[in-house]
Structure formats: C-alpha cells, structure tokens
C-alpha cells in the first residue's frame, strides 16, 4: 500500500523524538567542548615595544573583531626614560618576560602569560573567531603563516634586518629569481627563491574572492595583508623611522607593481584594508617607532 509504514505512529514519533534528542545532545556536547577551550580575553594585555613589529597582526585582529585599546591594554615599552606619553620603561616587565625567554612580545590574560608571536596570534585568532571553522581550516591558516615566514627568512638572507636595501637588491628581490611556481619545486634554484616564487606558490594555496581560507576573514588574511600591504604613513612614522622600514619588503612602489600578478593575494589585501575595524585601527593607531 502506498505510504504504508509498518511502525505504529506513536512509536515512530517516539523514535524520531529520541533521534532528535540524541542529535541535540551531540551538538550541545560539541559546543560545550568548544566553549571550554576558550579562555576569553578579559583583562588582556599586549606587551611590546612602541611600534608595529611582532604585535601589529594581533592588534589588527582585535580591531577586526571590534576591540580597540580600552577593551584591552596595548602596553608599549622603551629602554629610554618615559616621556609621559604612556610608554613604560622595560624595568617594570623584567619579572613578567619569562613567558618569552626574557623578551617581548608577551600577551597576558589575567595572571597568565604567553610569549612568541605565533602563539599570541593563535590565542587572539581563536578567541576572535579568526582561526577557521574546522581543524582543517586552522591547519591551512597555519600553512599560510609558515609560507609567509619562509618568505621573510628568504628576504632576510638577502637583506639582513637593520640593513637599508640597495636599489639593486630590491630589484633582484622583486623581479628576479626562481620561476617554478607550480608543480614540484625545483631544488636547483632553491637559493634563488625570491618574492615572486613565494607569492606564486601562495597564490595556488589560498582561496578566491578576497578570503584566503574558508568563507570569512581569518588570521591568514591579516598575515597576508601585514606582509604585502602594511604601510606606515608619514603622519604615523616617527622621525627616526627610515622610509624603507615604512613599506612592505622595503618598497611600496615595487610591491604595488608586483601585486597585480597575483590577483588572489591582492584581493585579500584589499579586503582586509576595506574592513571597517581595520580602517579604524589604521586611522587611530598613532605614531609608531617602527
């Protein structure tokens, strides 16, 4: 008989109610487990030198999540005599820097602390919903982070930190080098992997539409922006900051000429720059020492 069900309706309804209850309990348990991993950001303090550096990505993520200084403490430090601007002397942090081997950056949450920039990125991204929706997405975000870190190491091998790059070195970094950006990597040109090699490889990893991983902005997007688009305007640069330190990889001109060749990376940079929280932070962060 069409539509005949051998199970009595009352019993069948009980079965479906039971299934629904089990499914609901599973979802609730999953959410409970997820929530118990959260430490929250109540009392968060970001502790770093008076500049962008290794803390700017965390500040940007907080801004994207709608949190600005006042919602957390953006503590800045110096080895100079404090000038009354709110920047503190390093001596007050001496005992608190054990979390990062006696160095900065450090993030403090309540009475606890964590050091190392990547660990701080993970904490902030996780608490702000910027670490992907699944473990696989989180792993992909970390893959982007590692790729960018490799790119910076390659840059520093050519232009050591604190060294002003010559025009010849910048031209080499931006326009020359290995070209095997698809397929198996050519080990014979390993020492010639400059920015186009890394950007070419990254272009094949990330998603389209201005989102690097998943369906919404994440740590991966903020890192990509920080590496390829973060610029310090003249109004926000201390007089002691040389021009090359204000621009991505030492040259906004060469970076602007390079980005169009990598449309997915460029789209991510534009999407982060257009985010209201990012725009507010960039407009209000004030003068930076680096």
Average pLDDT of the residues in 58-86: 94
Mean local confidence (pLDDT), 121-126: 98
Pairing of strands 106-109, 44-49: antiparallel
- Whole-prediction pTM: 0.86
pLDDT digits (tens, 9 = 90+) for 128-152: 999 999 999 999 999 999 999 999 9
Task: Give the pLDDT confidence score for residue 82 in this predicted structure.
Answer: 81
* CA gap 280, 189 in Å, rounded: 42
Task: Give the pLDDT mean for 214-236.
Answer: 98
Task: Report pLDDT for 15.
Answer: 38
Residue 22 predicted with pLDDT over 60: no
Evaluate if residue 259 carries a pLDDT over 70.
Answer: yes
> Is the pLDDT reported for residue 248 higher than 50?
yes
Structure confidence at residue 273 as a pLDDT band (50, 70, 90): very high
Range 213-220 average pLDDT: 98
| pLDDT at residue 247, rounded to an integer | 98
Mean pLDDT of 34-40: 68
pLDDT tens-digit map of 149-203: 999 999 999 999 999 999 999 999 999 999 999 999 999 999 999 999 999 999 9
For the chain, give the number of residues.
290
Residue 109, strand partner residues = 44, 112
In the predicted model, is pLDDT for residue 9 greater than 90? no
Long-range CB contacts for residues 173-179, cutoff 8 Å, separation at least 24: 173/249, 173/250, 174/249, 174/251, 174/254, 174/255, 174/257, 174/258, 175/254
pLDDT(27) > 50? no
Where does the pLDDT of residue 1 fall: very low under 50, low under 70, confident under 90, or very high at 90 and above? very low
pLDDT for the residue 11: 40
Average pLDDT, the chain: 89
Can you give the three-state secondary structure of the chain, one letter per residue?
Answer: CCCCCCCCHHHHHHHHHHHHHHHHHHHHHHHHHHHHHCCCCCCEEEEEECCCHHHHHHHHHHHHCCCCECCEEEEEEECCCCCCCCCEEHHHHHHHHHHHCCCCCEEEECCEEEECHHHHHHHHHHHCCCCCCCHHHHHHHHHHHHHHHHHHHHHHHHCCCCCCCCHHHHHHHHHCCCCCCCCCCCHHHHHHCCHHHHHHHHHCCCCCCCCCCCCCCCHHHHHHHHHHCCCCCHHHECCCCCHHHHCHHHCHHHHHHHHHHCHHHHHHHHHHHHCHHHHHHHHHCCCECC
pLDDT grade, residue 13 (50/70/90)?
very low
Angle between helices 219-228 and 56-64 (to 10 degrees): 130
Binned at pLDDT 50, 70 and 90, residue 73 comes out as very high
């Amino acid at each position: 008989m069409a539509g005949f069900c051998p199970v009595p309706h009352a019993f069948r309804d009980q079965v479906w109610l039971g299934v629904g209850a089990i499914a609901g309990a599973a979802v609730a348990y999953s959410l409970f487990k997820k929530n118990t991993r959260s430490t929250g950001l109540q009392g968060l303090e970001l502790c770093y030198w008076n500049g962008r550096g290794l803390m700017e990505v965390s500040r940007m993520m907080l801004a994207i999540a709608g949190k600005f200084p006042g919602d957390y403490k953006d503590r800045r430090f110096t080895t100079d005599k404090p000038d009354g601007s709110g920047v503190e002397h390093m001596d007050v942090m001496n005992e608190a820097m054990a979390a990062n081997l006696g160095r900065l950056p450090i993030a403090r949450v309540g009475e606890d602390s964590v050091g190392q920039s990547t660990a701080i990125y993970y904490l902030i991204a996780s608490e702000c919903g910027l670490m992907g929706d699944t473990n696989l997405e989180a792993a992909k975000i970390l893959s982007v982070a590692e790729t960018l870190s490799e790119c910076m190491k390659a840059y520093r091998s050519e232009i050591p930190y604190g060294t002003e790059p010559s025009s010849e070195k910048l031209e080499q970094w931006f326009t020359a080098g290995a070209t095997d950006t698809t397929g198996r990597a050519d080990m014979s040109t390993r020492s010639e992997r400059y920015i186009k090699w890394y950007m070419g490889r990254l272009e094949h990893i990330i998603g389209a539409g201005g989102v690097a991983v998943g369906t919404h902005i994440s740590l991966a997007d903020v890192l990509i922006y920080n590496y390829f688009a973060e610029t310090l305007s003249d109004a926000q640069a201390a007089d002691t900051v040389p021009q090359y330190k204000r621009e991505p990889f030492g040259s906004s001109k060469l970076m602007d000429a390079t980005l169009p060749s990598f449309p997915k990376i460029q789209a991510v940079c534009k999407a982060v720059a257009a985010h209201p929280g990012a725009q507010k932070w960039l407009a209000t962060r004030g003068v930076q020492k680096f």
